Structure 1
């Protein structure tokens, strides 16, 4: 599946006639020595593609139907990331960094695909849901990359300015995690993103083991919010007293867009909370999520 996806990406951008993207595939922009180079990821198939039952793939890629399906797969489904999450992230959100680090070729292949997606001519006109899914997946993948660069370690807080390290290039710009979270995701006025992005720590909302997609985004965001809020290791809720994650303190403004914090919590809580409930915030555990 992964090899086929790389092949499809290669063929799609080659046949689209985009000289800029084709050049990016064959010779990615050099990166600093400290960064694992994306050009270690091969976009050239290691095995010959067999013709389909209906027609040779060289003919199929020219059809409108194939182009529509391919565009959706590349820009919406994030298949490579989904495969990696399924393999290396448990249902509880624990990440097997040790094993993932051994097989980084596929992982860096996905980072390269993110760059291709970002540069695609349709990216700027994509829907809010498509852009949210893209940036949530990008944030999570970049966070995993940050850990892999420095693994083994006990906590992301062991690193100097972890959220300000500018390692990841999309198009002509180098990004850091702070910028993606505060200048892009939070400005999209969707407070539930805080339960979708992961900071590689125990007290964070867990890293989901499925990629976010535009078609399932509403359900995924709602489920992630409910799951985090009703997890007794993250929040303790009762009618008259709540002890909640510091996320609700750090990003209080985001949760008060359409009412009070209690109003927001009651949308997703299994316990009905009184507007007069006493409120405290839990200590944050920054131990690595493995």
Structure 2
């Protein structure tokens, strides 16, 4: 009987030992699961959700670098529509300027000037973009110069009008003289002289649309032909020329690719003789109202 109890006791000890080993073995995996779950933040998406969708590129999704008007999806040329709206409203087809009208829209004009100052040309702009920008800038600032002193009878009533530095572009204060002589004239385009205006009767008329890069060639040609054919500013015949003093003041610009006669013959309605006699008209500085 004693042996039976001893045998039973041994069986119970063996059973408890086996149960403990099984418990230790089965508890390992759940511990790993808890540890893994706790290491993942609630703000991090599962890996499969963070894999990006395939990107399908079309011709329009990434503009070609060779396109002169577009880079990184942004047009390089400045939008001059607000200037055109002001010109259409306050400048006649003959170039007469309603400065009182401009004065009533001065806030719009100043907003346009601010936009110009914050979006200056850079190396990525084409020559046409830069020319259109600086021509429009020059004309806009000329109108603003007059408005600052209006009413006046002539731009020359203003002390040193072309040297006034009223406008800050970037980190620099600009004058009309600097824009004309240090920027525009150095771009080797003599026709600028028929696009920029000095707010005076004898100067070329202020166009009532803004200059733009896409239309610049035709606009400059039209402005030049219009100025030459205006008998109040120039009198042209085959053998006799009575020209605007613009051709005298800026003679160097018109002799870049030949003589002055060569330049005139590109845009004149008649053929001018190389031996034509040349003189220059008096310049009328009366305001172009």
TM-score class, shorter-chain normalisation, is 0.7 to 0.9
| Superposition pairs of residues 82-231 of structure 1, within 5 angstroms | 82-118=84-120, 123-231=122-230
Question: 1:117 Cα deviation (Å)?
Answer: 1.3
Query: What is the CA–CA distance in structure 2 between the aligned matches of 1:116 and 1:220, rounded to whole Å?
Result: 25
- In the TM superposition, residue 99 of structure 1 has moved relative to its aligned partner by 1.5
Structure 2 Cα separation of the partners of residues 169 and 100 of structure 1: 21
- Following TM superposition, the consecutive aligned residue runs of length 4 or more in structure 1 with deviations greater than 6 angstroms are 67-70
Change (3 A) 1:232 1:138: same
Deviation at 1:71, TM superposition (A): 3.8
Shift, 1:103, TM fit: 1.8
How far the C-alpha of 1:104 sits from its partner, in A, is 0.9
Alpha-carbon deviation of 1:92? 0.6
In the alignment, what sits opposite 1:4? none
- Which whole-Å CA distance do the structure 2 matches of 1:145 and 1:71 have between them? 29
Query: How far did 1:76 drift?
Result: 3.6
Structure 1 residue ranges without an equivalent (≥5): 1-62
**What secondary structure sits across from 1:126 in the alignment?**
coil
Give the Cα separation in 1 of the matches to 2:255 and 2:195. 18
Deviation, structure 1 residue 69: 11
Counterparts of 2:279 and 2:85, CA distance in 1: 39
Report the equivalent of 2:250: 251
Q: What per-residue deviation string (whole Å, max 9, x for no partner) do you get for residues 180-230 of structure 1?
A: 000000000000000000000000011100000000000000000000011
Q: What's the secondary structure of 2:165's corresponding residue?
A: coil
Q: Report the counterpart of residue 47 of structure 2 in structure 1.
A: none
* Rounded Cα–Cα distance in structure 1 between residues aligned with 2:212 and 2:78: 6
Q: Is the 8 A contact 1:75 1:117 kept in 2?
A: no
8 Å CA contact 1:229–1:268 kept in 2: the answer is yes
Deviations 1:31-88 (A, max 9, x none): xxxxxxxxxxxxxxxxxxxxxxxxxxxxxxxx879x979843x834311111111111
TM-score by length of 2: 0.74
Question: Any unmatched runs of 5+ in structure 2?
Answer: 1-60, 64-69
Task: Using the TM superposition, give the Cα deviation of residue 271 of structure 1 relative to its aligned residue in structure 2, in angstroms.
Answer: 1.7
TM-score, structure 1 length as denominator? 0.74
Equivalent residue pairs, number: 223
By how many angstroms is 1:125 displaced? 1.8
Partner residue, 1:75: 77
Aligned 8 A contact 1:76 1:214 in 2: no
Q: 2:73, 2:146 → 1: CA distance?
A: 31
Separation in 1 of the partners of 2:160 and 2:285? 14
State the distance in 1 between where 2:102 and 2:257 align. Answer: 41
Which protein has the larger Cα radius of gyration, Structure 1 or Structure 2? 2
Equivalent-residue separation in structure 1 for 2:131 and 2:216 (angstroms)? 8
Q: Is the 8 A contact 2:62 2:73 kept in 1?
A: no
